[in-house]
Amino acid sequence: MPEETPIPYTHRMPTIVSTSLIVGLEIHVELATRTRMFSRVASMAHPGAPEPEPNTLIDPVVLGLPGALPVLNRDAIELSIRMGLALGCEIATESRWDRKSYFYPDLPKGYQISQYDQPLCGEGHVDVQMPDGSTHPIRIIRAHLEEDAGKLLHELPGGTSIDFSIVDLNRAGTPLLEIVTAPDFTSADQVEAFSRMLRNTARFLGVTEGVMQKGHMRFEPNINCELTLDDGRTVKTPVVEIKNLNSFRAVRDAIEYELREQPKRWLDDGLEMGAGMKSTRGWNDQRAVTFLQREKEDAHDYRYFPDPDLLPVTIDPEWVSEIRRDLPEVPHLRASRYESTFGLGPREAEALVDEREVCLFFEAATRAAETHGLAHDVAGKAAANLVLQVGLRLANEREVLVSDLGITADQVGAIAALRLNDEIGSSGADTLFEALCESDEDPAAAADRLGLRQVTDTGALGAWCDAVIADPANEKTVADVKMGKMAAVGRLIGGVMQLSGGQADAKAVRQMLLEKLKSGSCS
């Protein structure tokens, strides 16, 4: 019998119709305590701490030597509660310490003291302010306290290349607050906005210095995608955790990379989210790609068990109430208040709360302006303009904070009042601000000494206006203004300001020029 030609079997791969991003975030915050979590060795995360030689800030507790016993750091507990309250978390009345067992070269004990089923801070909630003015709700699952590991150095101190790695335990045992969110983020924009807000909040509360380059805050997004297929099904890709990102740009770029790549991986391997499917990836900043590190462990792989050397922590509710009472208004709420009260834009408000010292300086300047007779909303707007437009420019040039320029908040408030009362012009305010960075002189007296007072005398203004109008070089400009081209009047105002050496009141000059050209009167 003749052989039959086999009919080929074809299996059509489904087409991805749409992709939705799902991101949860883990944030590791090194607390700004003087000493370690469980020992009295100085912490490198404390403000002003020096950068010591590797392995010089260690002791038997850090090294986990036999017989060394941990002693709890109370300040770390308090700072964690402050951060938890700011995130709307429930604060536990009792918290327990657990040993999380795993091997890393920079983890000398072979385990990390952490919190597993009884974290210090429980569920919370925060609304993230987006650049377009909208808000996005984020649930906080927990914030638990633990100790940091050491780190591996891949070059010698000073930058000399080596072909091996050095274990440096100076960071081991630093108090570390791990904040875990629900997978509520649906875009890299939301993650970046939340990360910036979290850093500002932690720094404002004194919880951490938040220097990303020093590892004070490290972000670890957990990313996967929901894919809608052309056959009507939806599938979720396996979760990928990106480790130890220390810049907002890296956080954004890593998420957007995974959003592009995960659908491609699913088309190649068909793997879906499920038990044992999570993986850990690193981030290559130069190539802007993630790379596989290991398959992620599940919780049971860490062999958690209660630490036998540490008693559970009982938290007095009255202590929590005291911390809550002392908690300042957090930056994102201040920014919202500045927008609604002073009429600032979102970028202006965010710039004011970016540094705690600058924020407090601005508020002090606003109060000072009020003592000079300005209404609260007017005082805030005027003080914000000076701090943002003049102060930040000078601060950037001199590489200091606005609050460290030398000018006081009282002087800024006085300048704002002089400007709003039309006693000095905008350029005069800039000049006066810069001059007072080097002097404790009274602003009004300094304005007189520097000749910055605006001339409002109608006789003097009239003479300057007449001279500018009569100048043959301005003939076409004068004709344009008379024909209704109001933009041209700016050139005439500039001429008057030049004649007056910048002392003429620009608002009064504009009005007088228009009156003279309208009536045709010019002496």
Say whether pLDDT at 523 is over 90. no
Q: Which residue has the higher pLDDT, 490 or 400?
A: 400
pLDDT tens readout for residues 174-212: 999 999 999 999 999 999 999 999 999 999 999 999 999
Nearest CA to 177 out of 203, 206, 152, 208 is that of 208
pTM given for the model: 0.83
Say whether pLDDT at 512 is over 90. no
Beta-bridge partner residues of 121: 91, 143
Q: Where are the alpha helices (DSSP H) in 343-425?
A: 346-353, 356-371, 376-385, 392-398, 409-420
Report, as an integer, the average pLDDT of 246-260: 97
- Using alpha carbons only, give the angle 255, 256, 262 rounded to the nearest 5 degrees: 85
**Domain-wise residue ranges, the chain:** 16-314, 329-449, 458-519
pLDDT tens readout for residues 422-432: 888 888 899 99
What was the pLDDT predicted at 20?
97
* Residue appearing with tokens 């509360």: 205
Radius of gyration of the chain (CA): 31
DSSP annotation of 154 reads E
> CA-based diameter of the chain, in Å?
121
Report, as an integer, the average pLDDT of 353-373: 95
pLDDT above 90: percentage of residues in the chain: 70
CA dist 104 and 113 (Å) reads 14
pLDDT band at 501 (very low <50, low <70, confident <90, very high): confident
- Indicate if the alpha-carbon torsion angle 69, 75, 80, 81 is positive or negative: positive
pLDDT tens readout for residues 53-91: 999 999 999 999 999 999 999 999 999 999 999 999 999
What was the pLDDT predicted at 456?
67
Beta-bridge partner residues of 94: 314
Report, as an integer, the average pLDDT of 310-325: 96
Report, as an integer, the average pLDDT of 377-396: 96
pLDDT above 70: percentage of residues in the chain: 95
Say whether pLDDT at 7 is over 60. no
Spell out a b/e string for 233-246, using b for 16 or more CB atoms within 10 Å of the CB, else e.
Answer: eebbbbbbbbbebb
Q: What six digits make up the tokens of 263?
A: 């659908």
* Residue appearing with tokens 């606003």: 366
End-to-end CA distance of the chain: give it in Å, rounded: 121
Report, as an integer, the average pLDDT of 137-144: 98
Q: Is 396 left (phi over 0), alpha (psi -120 to 50) or beta?
A: alpha
pLDDT band at 451 (very low <50, low <70, confident <90, very high): confident
Q: What six digits make up the tokens of 379?
A: 């005082």
Q: Which residue has the higher pLDDT, 2 or 14?
A: 14
Residue 262, classed as helix, strand or coil, is helix
pLDDT band at 9 (very low <50, low <70, confident <90, very high): very low
Q: Which residue has the higher pLDDT, 44 or 425?
A: 44
CATH top-level class of 458-519: mainly alpha
pLDDT band at 4 (very low <50, low <70, confident <90, very high): low
Which whole-number Å values give the CA distances from 27 to 44, 122, 137, 140, 193, in the listed order?
19, 15, 17, 11, 14
Say whether pLDDT at 11 is over 80. no
- Indicate if the alpha-carbon torsion angle 82, 83, 88, 94 is positive or negative: negative
DSSP annotation of 75 reads H
